[in-house]
């Protein structure tokens, strides 16, 4: 997180299909009819919760007025597909309900018209039989719901473009589409559903016409590894911060080599040791690396991997990784001895438990 993925999606969109300055909703509204179809964090800005606690009203997920969701829901009738996809990746009993058009009154007792497909309510069936109950879903479920709106659209688009002869397609609205940019799809899913989502997305990409290009960004190693394996691509790219902004670095080979989180921790710690820039947070990273290694190797406790005098080293790490109880408490910097402990424990873990280490070049 924080590496610039969302900014990259915005820059790419502006490069491929520049538009006059406007709101996010206006950009989203026209995206389906341009050269690029994209999903990023700004897509979620079209949705917000209306929690009227004063009237004890049911929680409603509101959809900001925009042509994008109107086009998907009203014109293309994708509401049932969205519900199906959402339940598939979450819970079969958790049901979204899109509103029909209705009239109500505002705070001044004036009659107002509520457009169809501008509100969503969620019910969990089977829990209170005979008593309709609507609930506010979790943030991860909300993100998943919004993703399913885009995913349902993408399924429909690829089905249409898979017809080779443009004259035989049910619509020509997507004939100019060149790119699909997906910035960090739902990674708050549990591992099983996350793997399934990666496999399903890869399946869509593989049956899309070859002239339709996909750019997908993620900070989730599992999602990347599954997607990479399914697509069988020769390389991926790492987006890294640099002094002058951001760099997109090509990485050949399997992303396990360049992206897996435990190897990323190892890389950060080795660099800190080599440059003698060890800070308090490096103890947290070291502990995290021990935890992930212990989990992979089947040890019941990460402290089992520590060298002799385990309790001594365990106490040092615990002291440096415990959260401060006072916000104004001064956090001491590691002294020379503590820095040596970081190096010693890192070397111990890498050497004893089979981590591959690249030989350093001399001269």
Helix (H, G, I), strand (E, B) or coil at 25: helix
37 has pLDDT over 80: yes
- Domain ranges, ordered by start, for the chain: 5-256, 274-352
Residue 55 pLDDT class (50, 70, 90 cuts):
low
- Going by C-alpha positions, the residue among 355, 329, 205, 209 that lies closest to residue 270 is 355
Q: How confident is the model over 262-278, as pLDDT tens digits?
A: 777 788 889 889 999 88
28 has pLDDT over 80: no
Q: Which residue has the higher pLDDT, 78 or 237?
A: 78
* pLDDT score for 358: 63
Cα gap 341→331, rounded to integer Å: 18
The CATH number of the domain covering residues in 5-256 = 3.40.50.300
Residues 6+ apart with CB under 8 A from 339: 276, 278
* pLDDT score for 116: 95
Q: What mean pLDDT do residues 61-77 have? A: 89
**CA–centroid distance for 293 within its chain:** 24
What string of DSSP letters covers 281-298? HHHHHHHHHHHHHHHHHT
Q: What mean pLDDT do residues 316-332 have? A: 51
Backbone angles phi, psi at 203, to 5 degrees: -60, -40
Q: What mean pLDDT do residues 244-254 have? A: 68
Q: Which residue has the higher pLDDT, 64 or 263?
A: 64
What is the percentage of the chain residues whose pLDDT exceeds 70? Answer: 80
Mean pLDDT of the chain: 81
What string of DSSP letters covers 123-151? EETTSSTTS--EEPPPHHHHHHHHHHHHH
What is the percentage of the chain residues whose pLDDT exceeds 90? Answer: 31
* pLDDT score for 4: 74
254 has pLDDT over 70: no
Q: How confident is the model over 119-164, as pLDDT tens digits?
A: 999 998 765 445 557 899 998 899 999 999 999 999 999 999 999 9
CA end-to-end distance (rounded Å), the chain: 37
104 has pLDDT over 60: yes
- Stretch (H or E) spanning 316: helix 310-321
E-strand ranges in the chain read: 36-39, 47-50, 60-63, 94-98, 102-105, 111-114, 119-124, 134-135, 179-183, 213-217, 235-242, 245-252
Q: Is 32 left (phi over 0), alpha (psi -120 to 50) or beta?
A: alpha
Expressed in percent and rounded to 5, the helix, strand and coil fractions of the chain are 45, 15, 35
- For tokens 């030989």, the residue is 359
* pLDDT score for 296: 81
CB 59 within 8 A of CB 121: yes
CB 86 within 8 A of CB 139: no
* pLDDT score for 25: 47
Residue 281 pLDDT class (50, 70, 90 cuts):
confident
Q: Which residue has the higher pLDDT, 63 or 20?
A: 63
257 has pLDDT over 60: no
């Amino acid at each position: 997180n924080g590496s610039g993925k969302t900014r990259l999606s915005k820059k790419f969109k502006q490069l491929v299909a520049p538009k006059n300055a406007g709101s996010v909703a206006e950009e989203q509204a026209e995206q389906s009819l341009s050269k690029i179809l994209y999903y990023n964090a700004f897509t979620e800005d079209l949705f917000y919760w209306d929690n009227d606690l004063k009237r004890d009203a049911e929680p409603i997920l509101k959809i900001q007025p925009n042509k994008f969701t109107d086009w998907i829901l009203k014109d293309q009738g994708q509401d049932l597909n969205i519900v199906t996809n959402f339940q598939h990746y979450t819970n079969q009993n958790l049901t979204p309900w899109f509103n029909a058009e209705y009239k109500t009154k505002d705070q001044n007792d004036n009659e107002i018209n509520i457009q169809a497909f501008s509100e969503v309510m969620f019910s969990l069936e089977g829990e209170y039989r005979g008593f309709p109950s609507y609930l506010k879903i979790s943030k991860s479920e909300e993100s998943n719901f919004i993703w399913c709106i885009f995913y349902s659209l993408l399924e429909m688009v690829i089905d249409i473009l898979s017809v080779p002869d443009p004259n035989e397609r049910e619509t020509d609205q997507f004939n100019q589409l060149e790119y699909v940019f997906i910035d960090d799809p739902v990674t708050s899913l549990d591992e099983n559903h996350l793997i399934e989502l990666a496999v399903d997305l890869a399946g869509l990409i593989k049956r899309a016409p070859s002239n339709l290009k996909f750019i997908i960004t993620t900070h989730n190693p599992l999602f990347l590894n599954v997607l990479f394996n399914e697509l069988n691509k020769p390389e991926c790219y790492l987006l890294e911060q640099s002094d002058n902004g951001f760099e997109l670095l090509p990485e050949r080979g399997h992303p396990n080599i360049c992206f897996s989180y435990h190897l990323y921790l190892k890389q950060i710690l080795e660099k800190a040791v080599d440059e003698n820039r060890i800070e308090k947070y490096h103890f947290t990273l070291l502990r995290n690396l021990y935890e992930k290694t212990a989990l992979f190797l089947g040890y019941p406790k990460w402290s089992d991997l520590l060298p002799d005098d385990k309790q001594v080293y365990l106490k040092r790490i615990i002291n440096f990784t415990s959260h401060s109880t006072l916000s104004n408490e001064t956090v001491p910097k590691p002294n020379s001895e503590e820095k040596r402990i970081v190096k010693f424990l890192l070397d111990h873990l890498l050497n004893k438990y089979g981590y591959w280490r690249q030989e350093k070049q001399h001269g």
